[in-house]
Every structure is written in structure tokens, then in C-alpha cells.
């Protein structure tokens, strides 16, 4: 790649780490690499990133985007911390987006199965804990044209977000690391085009459930 500023995307809301790279302000086909690391992410995060972008080129970054979860506690935390640190040290914008928002974009934009649906839910069942669900829908004023109408949160009662009670469609929140990282890059390009500032401090992991619950 040339010396033009780059957009870096990090996504670890599943057992697979995905790293995406694309020149800022272009329609060039992005480079996306996926690494099924599982619990090895804490040891292999930096080597995987350097496969796509060696450390000596990190100063070429002009903007960062990261998936904030929900996901595994360690994986999500590590990639968000890495993104925050890079943004702080390089003094470049950082934007965080929930992984269900990226899934919603896949389903509702570009002729997806939920295209034209004004409001729908994405849900992930957690054994013995309940269901994490959030609502989404197209909004012209939202970055990228689709908004998170209700942030993902834990429901303990029997699935109140389902059509039987809300009259709105829903789909399981299933991560596609490569495709969702492409959506992450698209949002980063939209943020750059809109000249959004992207302060790193507000970008935090999304934890709908509490690790200290029940203590």
C-alpha cells in the first residue's frame, strides 16, 4: 500500500479475531484477515495485527475503528484497549461500534433480508442468564444510514422482544468476522467523510452482563 493514511479495524466479538485495513477516503477493496484464536488472543493479538500492518507502519494510521462487543470479556477488552492506546499515542480518531450494529447493517442494507424493515431486533441467548437483545432500524440521519434504536441489554424475562409481544421481527445475532469487519471499515470511512472527531476516551467495551453478578 502507498503512504496515504490508513483506516484500521479490529473485531474480536467472537472466537475469531478479524483485522481490516483500507486507505482512508477511497473505495479500494479492503484487506481483511481472520484468525481463529479463541483463548490465544491475549498472546497472538500483536503478531496477527503485524501480519497485516507491521509495527513500523503504525504511524501511517489516520483513523481507527473497533467492535466494542458484546463478546468475550478478555478478547473484547484487549482489542478495545489496543485501539484506545494506538489512538492516544498516535493522536488519531477512534470510533467504537457494537457488534450487533455491524450485523444489523449486513441484514438491513444493500438488499439484505431485513432491507426496508423499519425496526427489528437482534438477540443472543446466554445459557442460564437470559437473552441479550437490541433494536435496530434505518435512519437517514444516522452514520451509515442505520441506527441502534435500543442498545443491547440483558433480558431475564421470557424473550419480551419477540414478535409475539412486540410485533417486530428478530434475528439471532451471529457474528461473521470478515463481513462484519468490512462493515466496521465502512462506518470508519463514513466517520472520516463526516470529519467526526473520534475521541478515544469514550470508547469502552460493551458488557450487557456483569462479571461480578451474584457475588
Where exactly are the structural domains of the chain? 6-99+176-193, 114-172
Mutual angle of helices 41-52 and 73-90, in 10-degree steps = 40
Residue among 176, 181, 186 at smallest CA distance from 142: 186
Max CA distance (Å), the chain: 54
Report yes or no: 5 and 24 within 8 Å, Cβ to Cβ.
yes
pTM of the model: 0.90
pLDDT in the model for residue 130: 78
Q: Which ranges in the chain belong to alpha helices (H)?
A: 41-52, 73-90, 99-108, 163-166, 177-193
Sign of the C-alpha dihedral computed for residues 13, 18, 23 and 26 taken in this order? negative
SS3 string, 28-66, reads CCCEEEEECCHHHHHHHHHHHHHHHCCHHHHHHEEEEEE
> In CATH, what number does 6-99+176-193 get?
3.30.420.40
pLDDT in the model for residue 210: 60
pLDDT in the model for residue 67: 96
- Could you list the pLDDT tens digit for every one of the 215 residues in the chain? 457 899 999 999 898 999 999 999 988 899 999 999 887 888 899 999 999 999 999 999 999 999 998 877 777 889 999 999 999 999 999 999 999 999 999 999 988 899 999 999 999 887 767 788 899 999 999 999 999 999 888 887 655 556 444 678 889 999 999 999 999 999 999 999 999 999 999 999 988 766 555 44
Amino acid at each position: 500500500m502507498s503512504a496515504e493514511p490508513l483506516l484500521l479495524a479490529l473485531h474480536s466479538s467472537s472466537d475469531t479475531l478479524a483485522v481490516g485495513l483500507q486507505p482512508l477516503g477511497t473505495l479500494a477493496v479492503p484487506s481483511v484477515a481472520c484468525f481463529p484464536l479463541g483463548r490465544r488472543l491475549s498472546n497472538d493479538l500483536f503478531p496477527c495485527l503485524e501480519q497485516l500492518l507491521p509495527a513500523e507502519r503504525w504511524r501511517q494510521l489516520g483513523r481507527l475503528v473497533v467492535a466494542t462487543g458484546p463478546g468475550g470479556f478478555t478478547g473484547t477488552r484487549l482489542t478495545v484497549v489496543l485501539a484506545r492506546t494506538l489512538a492516544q499515542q498516535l493522536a488519531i480518531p477512534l470510533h467504537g461500534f457494537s457488534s450487533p450494529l455491524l450485523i444489523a447493517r449486513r441484514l438491513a442494507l444493500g438488499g439484505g433480508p431485513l432491507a426496508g424493515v423499519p425496526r427489528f431486533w437482534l438477540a443472543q441467548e446466554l445459557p442460564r442468564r437470559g437473552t441479550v437483545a437490541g433494536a435496530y432500524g434505518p435512519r437517514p440521519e444516522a452514520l451509515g444510514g442505520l441506527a441502534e434504536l435500543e442498545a443491547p441489554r440483558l433480558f431475564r424475562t421470557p424473550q419480551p422482544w419477540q414478535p409475539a409481544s412486540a410485533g417486530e421481527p428478530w434475528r439471532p445475532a451471529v457474528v461473521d468476522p470478515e463481513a462484519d469487519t468490512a462493515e466496521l471499515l465502512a462506518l470508519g470511512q463514513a466517520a472520516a467523510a463526516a470529519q467526526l472527531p473520534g475521541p478515544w476516551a469514550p470508547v469502552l467495551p460493551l458488557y450487557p452482563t456483569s462479571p461480578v453478578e451474584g457475588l
